[in-house]
Amino acid sequence: MSNQHSSSGEKPDRLQFYGEEFVFDKVTGMFFRLNPSGSFMLRALAAGGAPADLPQQLQQRYGLDRATATRDAQLFLNSLAALEPLDRLSHPLRVAS
């Protein structure tokens, strides 16, 4: 496994977003289609956000209650885990309650 971190310790941008629906993984060469909330969460993770922060971000952006936001974030993270190339962005997968 090669280390793709730059000398400053930052990860290179591996994802290229196209609008709100599509993302291209530069490492694997795969395209993925997202819904708007999925795009929002993936962008947050790609920018270095913590998975545990996703429920609060969903509450703020979409006006969701805490239980719904937590459930939606966990479902999204579970979906990422099934997509091996993208699951590296979401470790650890548990969202704090």
Its pTM stands at: 0.74
- Tens-digit pLDDT profile for residues 20-29: 889 998 888 8
For residue 73, which of 60, 85, 84, 33 has the smallest C-alpha distance? 60
Q: Is 15 helix (H, G, I), strand (E, B) or coil?
A: strand
| Count of all residues that appear for the chain in the document | 97
Tell which wins on pLDDT, 95 or 14. 14
